[in-house]
């Protein structure tokens, strides 16, 4: 499989907030957490659960930095 998303962050799912249509999935990536919203159907089809190791793929047209 080839992907165009260059920002790949491997981590462990630590929380899934399920809704009727969408779910918020929180992944622990090192000392940081990354949260994303995907469809509930995708969570079920992928059989995602707390403790699973996944890779968050981030593709953005804009990134902001703060120092």
pLDDT, tens digit (0-9, with 9 covering 90-100), for 39-56: 999 999 999 999 999 999
Tell whether the model's pLDDT for residue 61 goes beyond 90: no
**What is the pLDDT at residue 21?**
97
Q: Report the predicted TM-score, pTM, of the whole model to 2 decimal places.
A: 0.87
5 contact partners, CB below 8 Å, separation of at least 6: 57, 58, 59
13 near 25, Cβ under 8 Å? yes
Q: Work out the number of other CB atoms within 10 angstroms of the CB of residue 25.
A: 24
Q: What pLDDT was estimated at residue 10?
A: 96
């Amino acid at each position: 499989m080839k992907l165009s998303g260059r920002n790949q962050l491997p981590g462990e799912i630590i929380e899934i907030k399920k809704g009727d249509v969408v779910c918020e999935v929180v992944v622990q990536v090192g000392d940081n957490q990354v949260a994303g919203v995907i469809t509930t159907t995708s969570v079920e089809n992928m059989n995602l659960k707390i403790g699973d190791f996944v890779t968050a793929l981030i593709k953005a047209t804009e990134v902001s930095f703060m120092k």
